[in-house]
Amino acid sequence: MPQKIIDQLWEIIPTIVYFVVGLGLFGISVMIMNWVTPFSIRKEIETDQNTSLAILMGSALIGIAIILGSLVGS
């Protein structure tokens, strides 16, 4: 294989590492959000059809993803 292709393949490794670290931190943040709330988020959204909680959780997850993206990407 040419050296250029090998160099490009080596550049993929940090991307995969950053992806795994970011996904792990995102999962930990979701578990913390579930732990902190005094009620079951899943029950409220699925069974009780609490749309406002779903919007709130979605916006919180987007905010966490933006913060993690800037931290891991730098």
| Contact of 44 with 33, CB cutoff 8 Å | no
Average of per-residue pLDDT values in the chain:
88
Condensed to tens digits (0 to 9), the pLDDT of residues 6-27 reads 888 888 888 888 889 888 988 9
Q: What is the DSSP letter of 2?
A: -
What is the distance between the alpha carbons of residues 43 and 46, in angstroms, rounded to a whole number? Answer: 5
**Nearest C-alpha neighbor of 67 from the set 24, 26, 15:** 26
Domain spans of the chain? Answer: 3-73
pLDDT at 47 over 80: yes
The pLDDT assigned to 15 comes to: 84
Return the amino acid letter for 7. D
